[in-house]
Amino acid sequence: MRSTQPAQMHLGAFLQDAGHHIAAWRHPDAPAGAGMNFDHFRYLAQRAEAAKFDMIFLGDQMTFQYEEDETLGRTSRTVNFEPLTLLSALAGSTSRIGLIATASTSYNEPFNVARKYASLDHISHGRAGWNVVTSWTGGEARNFNRSEVMEHGLRYRRAQEFVEVVKGLWDSWDSDALLDDRQQGYFFDPARLHVLDHQGEFFQVRGPLTISRSPQGHPVMVQAGSSADGQTLAARHAEVIFTAQRHLAEAQSFYRTVKEQLVSAGRTPESLKIMPGVFPVVGESAAHAREKFEQLQALVNPEIGWAVLARHLGGVDLSRYSPDDPVPDLPLTQGNQSRQALLLAFARRENLTIRELYWHVTGTRGHWCVFGTASEIADVLESWFTQGAADGFNIMAPWLPGGLDEFIDEVVPVLQRRGLFRTDYQGTTLRDHLGLAPPRSRYANREAR
């Protein structure tokens, strides 16, 4: 399986307001109101581009990340820019780095999503990517005319059809359809325009899309779910997977399973890049890095910690247990099942108490945390990359901008010296950076005239 990997790893910068630690907003170096501070995001995007990252990535939830109770005022995860709007602005402040934003298949319509991402691809000259999510929080459901979250399997059935419709709409125009023939009076060739006329279980969409074929053909398709349903969706459509894996053996198993599913789906292993999230804490030593992390942990309000744990366990209330009880066996809810399963397996394997799991989740949200010097962190990333566990990594800085600055200034040069990461871009589009072939239009055979 190692032969399927590229010569160099891919790196993304996952930008989360003041950082990925729940208390990052209280860090003395975090800017005030980071989630609504455009200058802050522009700085981060330009720093990641100068370091030759493949992409920046923005998640999204269309509700407060935590329920509206007494804990809400103690977290910064309440106000954030709409991600596509932000990336459209950042496209003008950058020139090479990929721009990936999240949009839900549960609370959007395919035509809107297809049009917006094609627009971003044109605005950025071929740097757009869509992170496909199905949305799993009750707050989002209630903001979109539903009393509860759709059942897990139903969400993914809808997502499969949603993605098929979006890809069909992206093929509405042949690449040479726009003529701008002013002498003959033809703006476009009607024979090179295609009407989708989709009729399905969830959607009836005629088309065509009211924007021409985008520079990449299709914006890059990204998927973040790791459940069985999520893997099925990824095997059919995804070109990048952002995943949460904590141990090398688990990451290798996930990597191998997904790549095998690609082959079964008629795709090549190289057509999808697997990029686990990593929460790196850089220090003068491993002990120093852990000390920096503990300083962040000390800023966590206990009630927020319990709220974070409940959220990541699908809303399960653990208040009837003592904090020092072992983590009980819990059923998976209709929420983010892959994250619930990951956390419960981790708790069982490490024999954690509820309190210990709470501290773990507040810090890293269940993602892989690496402590150490720049060389030690580079060693671990190299190990995963060379042993068939990852094609690259989505860097989740503990706080921003400092955590990303440290990774860029200290870890990236080590990776570059080892030949594991680029020193310059070789292309201009996100597909170029990822080594992904342009998609073939479903109407391609008609283009040969």
Domain boundary residue, one of 340, 363, 386: 363
Domain range spanning residue 310? 292-363
Domain boundary residue, one of 343, 363, 383: 363
Each residue's pLDDT tens digit, 7-45? 899 999 999 999 999 889 999 999 999 999 999 999 999
Contact 140, 61 (CB under 8 A): yes
Same domain, 132 and 258: yes
Residue 187 within a domain: yes
Contact 47, 400 (CB under 8 A): no
b/e sequence 307-325, b meaning 16+ C-beta within 10 Å: bbbbbbbbebebeeeeeee
Say whether 226 counts as a known binding-site residue: yes
Say whether 60 counts as a known binding-site residue: yes
Residue 338, pLDDT > 70, answer no
d(CA 101, CA 99): 7
Q: What is the mean pLDDT of residues 58-64?
A: 86
Same domain, 41 and 123: yes
Using pLDDT thresholds of 50, 70 and 90, give the confidence band for residue 4. very low
Same domain, 354 and 383: no
Q: What is the mean pLDDT of residues 82-102?
A: 98
Residue whose C-alpha is closest to residue 326's, from 304, 352, 364? 352
Residue 70, pLDDT > 90, answer no
Residue 408 within a domain: yes
Say whether 360 counts as a known binding-site residue: no
Count the domains in the chain. Answer: 2
Residue 358, pLDDT > 80, answer no
Say whether 134 counts as a known binding-site residue: no
Residue 4 within a domain: no
Residue 345 within a domain: yes
Phi, psi of 382 (to 5 degrees): -60, -40
Angle at the Cα of 260 (from 256 to 261), degrees rounded to 5?
A: 120
d(CA 213, CA 192): 11
Residue 37 within a domain: yes
Residue 3 within a domain: no
Number of H helices, E strands in the chain: 16, 13
Say whether 152 counts as a known binding-site residue: yes
Question: What sections of 351-436 are H helices per DSSP?
Answer: 354-364, 374-386, 402-406, 412-417, 430-434
Domain boundary residue, one of 363, 391, 425: 363
Same domain, 184 and 202: yes
The enclosing domain of 163 has a CATH number of 3.20.20.30
**Hey, what are 228's tokens?**
């069985």
What stretch of H or E contains 394?
Answer: strand 392-395
Contact 99, 298 (CB under 8 A): no
Using pLDDT thresholds of 50, 70 and 90, give the confidence band for residue 197. very high
What pLDDT score does 366 carry? 66
Say whether 102 counts as a known binding-site residue: yes
Share of the chain above pLDDT 90, in %: 68
Q: What is the mean pLDDT of residues 58-62?
A: 89
